[in-house]
A and B are shown apart, each in its own frame.
Chain A
Amino acid sequence: QKEVEQDPGPLSVPEGAIVSLNCTYSNSAFQYFMWYRQYSRKGPELLMYTYSSGNKEDGRFTAQVDKSSKYISLFIRDSQPSDSATYLCAMSGSGGYNKLIFGAGTRLAVHP
């Protein structure tokens, strides 16, 4: 079993839809959670960074962490064709779990 599981998609939605992207993890020591957006043939770009549980909002993006369920989500409201990209989750802990672990990425296509 991988430490971080992420459905590769692809996920195809119409413009304006609410998108939900998710990752599950197995290591309860993880407490730093990130979402990256990667356009084709470009470097991953940090979108959201949260510590421990709860929600964080930035414009159309909301990151949610549920540590009890070992589940994190990224919501995109009013999705745009420019949101079409691969979204990677990443997480780490402290102590002996410092290494940042990436999910495989979910490919999202938003069509007009």
Chain B
Amino acid sequence: EAQVTQNPRYLITVTGKKLTVTCSQNMNHEYMSWYRQDPGLGLRQIYYSMNVEVTDKGDVPEGYKVSRKEKRNFPLILESPSPNQTSLYFCASSPREGREQYFGPGTRLTVT
């Protein structure tokens, strides 16, 4: 089944404790992206990747890091999480930039 998977689905952590949210897709897509979704603010892009080893900032990159060492994986790293990063996070993949994106199930992160 073609899909985007994310782990963990739920995470509660404390300020400053480094964490990684994994994302994997099995559709051989070149383009991958991370979004956060907050009430009233919609989907906001954090980082994206056009291909292996090619990443760039989205609209709200502060406090986040990404890497793309393999085509299928695109982890999101929060080196020192803060309460304002409490949000619902989505990973998405697409055959290419600007085309239809396929979303993962989401990761609900709470930072206390």
| Chain B residues whose C-beta falls within 8 Å of the C-beta of A44 in the assembled complex | 43, 90, 103
Enumerate chain A residues within 8 angstroms of B42, measured Cβ to Cβ: 88, 102-105
Contact B88 A41 (CB under 8 A): yes
Residues of B within 8 A of A94 (CB): 98
Tally inter-chain residue pairs, CB-CB below 8 A: 48
Interface residue stretch chosen among B12-20, B60-68, B72-80, B104-112: B104-112
Residues in A with CB closer than 8 Å to B86 are: none
Known A41-B106, A42-B105; judge A93-B98 contact (CB<8 A): yes
- Place the interface of chain B in its size category: 10 to 19
A17 located at the interface, meaning its Cβ lies under 8 Å from any Cβ of chain B in the complex? no
The answer to whether B106 and A34 touch across the interface, beta carbons within 8 angstroms, is no
Question: Is B82 located at the chain interface by the 8 A CB criterion?
Answer: no
Q: Is B97 an interface residue (CB 8 A)?
A: yes
A75-104, CB under 8 A of B: which get 1 and which 0?
A: 000000000000010101110011110111
Cα-based distance from A88 to B42 in the complex (angstroms): 9
A 40-63 to B, binary, CB cutoff 8 A, 1 in contact else 0: 011111100100000000000000
Q: How far is the CA of A93 from the CA of B90 in the complex (A)?
A: 23
Task: Check: B102 CB closer than 8 A to any chain A CB.
Answer: yes
